[in-house]
A = this chain, B = another copy of it.
């Protein structure tokens, strides 16, 4: 399988590590060759017979660049690479953009799909802003557009619903889907401030680059929109989500909730109202008997409601980059198996 990376941050690096150390994982039989790596800041590399990932990871670690020899850098932009290179799958891992409504990632994905190339992406932007369009484009061109890691760090949520509930209709969901705010709220329960919490989450490497994405609820709104669109047939964007952040929470209100046997959690919800679907992201008081109450640190959880099962809850305990990277790899396996790629 020939892979083109657009975006080569922590998730791509962890995927590369797994590719390099594939022998550690007995069930992982994915044959991959990375033919292109394109980034916003470090330029791009292309190599038909496969890029040496060990060398790239070393170079990034030692000198924060893709290659020691600048002459090796490609003259293509990421979009041009998606348009012209010879690859099987685009792995799109650029950062979430609300302002630009999923761009430029959506354009990278569109370009690949138009060429009949499949896409695996951990990016929430395109799936929350452009799902219907991209899905139809993929179907028209015999390609797949998959995004398991866009929500819940690669824990199988989209696949759970599409592969394990084939006869059931999802009618709603609720969940904790933003680790950073969950961490900050826990920190406030101990008397810490919002600002301290943000700083600690940034130091732990889990906060979005722009704190507003987390703190003002944009990241969970993108996730809620993605779930509503993919699982419930909705056609909304993150801008349509009834959105609340955690800026109004103080250490005092967080501690007051704890005193009353509750915890404050930033909950995402999706529900149906006749033929319409809605989503919200709100700070809610959660009871001590509720599993959401036990989601601490960067964990996440989602409760899925359907017509043929009582609610199932999926909990992702202490996720890190391994989970997000594996979610994308799971998408690659699906693409390989569905399209008969080698």
Partner-B contacts on A (CB < 8 A): 18, 24-30, 154-156, 159-160, 163-169, 289-291, 293-294, 296, 303, 307-320, 322-323, 326, 329-330, 333-334, 337
Beta-carbon contact of B323 and A309 below 8 Å: yes
- Can you list 25 contacts pairing A with B, beta carbon distance less than 8 Å? A25-B168, A26-B169, A27-B166, A27-B169, A28-B308, A156-B164, A159-B163, A160-B160, A163-B164, A165-B330, A166-B334, A167-B329, A289-B294, A290-B294, A291-B291, A294-B294, A303-B317, A308-B322, A311-B318, A312-B314, A312-B316, A313-B317, A314-B314, A314-B315, A315-B315
Asked if A315 meets B291 with Cβ closer than 8 Å, knowing A307-B24, A310-B323, the reply is yes
**Shortest 6 CB-CB contacts between residues of A and residues of B:** A156-B164, A313-B315, A163-B163, A159-B164, A28-B167, A308-B326
CB distance from A155 to the nearest CB of B (A): 5
Q: Bound complex: CA of A270 vs CA of B322, how far in Å?
A: 23
- Besides the contacts A24-B307, A166-B337, A311-B318, what 10 more A-B pairs have beta carbons closer than 8 Å? A25-B308, A26-B169, A27-B166, A159-B163, A160-B160, A166-B334, A303-B317, A309-B323, A311-B317, A315-B315
Residues of B within 8 A of A156 (CB): 160, 164-165, 312
Residues of B within 8 A of A326 (CB): 167-168, 308-309
Q: Bound complex: CA of A319 vs CA of B337, how far in Å?
A: 34
Asked if A154 meets B314 with Cβ closer than 8 Å, knowing A30-B167, A330-B166, the reply is no
Q: Bound complex: CA of A155 vs CA of B314, how far in Å?
A: 11
